[in-house]
Structure 1
């Protein structure tokens, strides 16, 4: 596996993966539509080391050209924000469901040796106690609770369907990623950049929602590991599995601590705009651990590294902050 295609490679997780793969010596091509969440500037430091193709995964011509002579496809391109999916579900279906089918069909016409589809823990829905294993994903989207997660559940089924037919497909279901290059519409970069602007963290409800925080550079490592070691036709959960679990309130308090802000002043509790949204996500990662991969779970240190990145890249996030905030004021 030497020649790699990363769809969505100018987005958040994609950018982290591209830097990782380039540093490991792979030949990397990126296919990205460069929507609001994808930034050409993300990849500028890799100029000359990455082949960037600006194109839509829903275009068979673009996908066919991009996947030619590729050994492995990492399919990350997706519409990914729950709030945006509430007002634009058709776009989520087109990109996440139809786009995934086109990616699979055109990639295998070009005899790609491995196709890694990046799904999400949200395909399982919320769980009050215990954790979901890979076989707990039911066919269809009945467990998913938003237009975003429903579209990802359907895409997950499509990819698994190809795997069951004998194609070299692996599905990865990661938890809540965070880290460098994350668009500030998402909770953690929104909170960090608010504090940098001397504005409070808007914490929804009582902040008791449980999320599994997975550092994006580690996700990149896991994706390469599964490319090399994963079994075709299988799904793998990818999670940090913090013990004890981390609530959103705890995360917000940690961010305040890292940034030397009094949480009494730095956190503003606001009514939850999505009171019926998934409360707790939890995944069983035994399958991946048995394969030989274990996640580094030092969350506080990883949050600190993330705060430092946004502090040092003010120009990057300030270009994006107004648009990111606009979805919360409509």
Structure 2
């Protein structure tokens, strides 16, 4: 249970998940600080920010020697999948190792939360790992997080530790979706192949931060050396997309026959070999068709969600796009008439 005496140290709190987590912690009057190399997106969170890089051990030593944290939530990471070179994910490997090493040095820490990803395991034949330390990493990013998990498991930490694997996270303060998927949906340009359901696990960010808060407030005997997928219960991805289109455009999602979409994807592959960018290609098409869901039921049984209603959560995100979020994105700023 978090008390007034606790001191929470967050790494990477200036990012998408961290911004929402800090909002929650402010409401709960927690004592915390955020170490991040980037300034917070929300200007009212600057007072909690310390500029620093987890790859630099001296930055961590400076904070720990002054602050003596009791709980550490490690969010800082490179999270894209653009590179195939593991050296490009140094924050995820060496940076995470530095977090483990500094926590081992300071006995004040009683609980360490290490943030991983669902990308540490992906199999088309066996959808779920048989145990927490079974890995089939997807992308180099997934490999970097596998390394982080293994370092955590084998570190002989004296404090309690918990690994969390966020699913497909969305919601307010996501800085990519407004310029990509949500804009395409709003313009009516998105089409979806007609076929069987593609089941996915989404994580509304405020449900995810609710679960992190539940973990740090739980009995350590329950959460120690445990791995939790963070997010909502799996659903047909079409339901998620349809809700967005309904609220953005007051219309229905456009569908086309699967064979047409597959043909367009093949055309995209050919154009790609010629150096011509095209919005549809086979990898993207296959991703649209695949089931990829996680065992979030274990997490939800223990820690619940803030709000399980998809419609409410989409509405809350759109309200953010109309309000605070609009100024960050020219398209939404113009649509909602923000100066």
Q: Please say if residues 124 and 136 of structure 1, whose CA atoms lie closer than 8 Å, have aligned partners that are also in contact.
A: no
Distance 1:288 1:273, change over 3 A: closer
Question: Normalising by structure 2, what TM-score?
Answer: 0.76
Determine if the alignment matches structure 1 residue 156 to structure 2 residue 153. Answer: no
Q: Of the candidates 267, 288, 297, which is equivalent to residue 299 of structure 2? A: 288
Deviates more, 1:217-226 or 1:166-175: 166-175
Q: Please say if residues 163 and 226 of structure 2, whose CA atoms lie closer than 8 Å, have aligned partners that are also in contact.
A: yes
The superposition leaves residues 267-323 of structure 1 with CA deviations (integer Å, 9 ceiling, x where unpaired) of 9x6334456669332222454355x322343223212211221232211234999xx
Q: Please say if residues 61 and 102 of structure 2, whose CA atoms lie closer than 8 Å, have aligned partners that are also in contact.
A: yes
Report the 3-state secondary structure (helix = DSSP H, G, I; strand = E; otherwise coil) of the residue aligned with 2:312.
Answer: helix
Superposed counterparts of 1:20-59, under 5 Å: 20-34=24-38, 39-42=39-42, 44-48=43-47, 50=48, 52-59=49-56
**1:328 corresponding residue in structure 2:** none
Number of residue pairs matched by the alignment: 299
For residues 25 and 60 of structure 2, what CA distance do their matches in structure 1 show? 20
The superposition leaves residues 69-106 of structure 1 with CA deviations (integer Å, 9 ceiling, x where unpaired) of 11111001111122x234x64222x1111110001111
Superposed counterparts of 1:19-98, under 5 Å: 19-34=23-38, 39-42=39-42, 44-48=43-47, 50=48, 52-68=49-65, 69-82=68-81, 84-86=82-84, 89-92=86-89, 94-98=90-94
Q: Of the candidates 90, 101, 105, which is equivalent to residue 105 of structure 1? A: 101
Gaps in structure 2 of 5+ consecutive residues: 262-279, 334-339
Q: Please say if residues 195 and 266 of structure 1, whose CA atoms lie closer than 8 Å, have aligned partners that are also in contact.
A: no
Gaps in structure 1 of 5+ consecutive residues: 322-330
Structure with greater Cα Rg: 2
> Which of the pair has the greater relative contact order for Cα pairs under 8 Å at 6+ separation?
1
Superposed counterparts of 1:212-227, under 5 Å: 212-227=201-216
For residues 169 and 21 of structure 1, what CA distance do their matches in structure 2 show? 20
Q: Of the candidates 182, 189, 196, which is equivalent to residue 192 of structure 1? A: 182
Pairwise CA RMSD: 3.2
Question: Normalising by structure 1, what TM-score?
Answer: 0.78
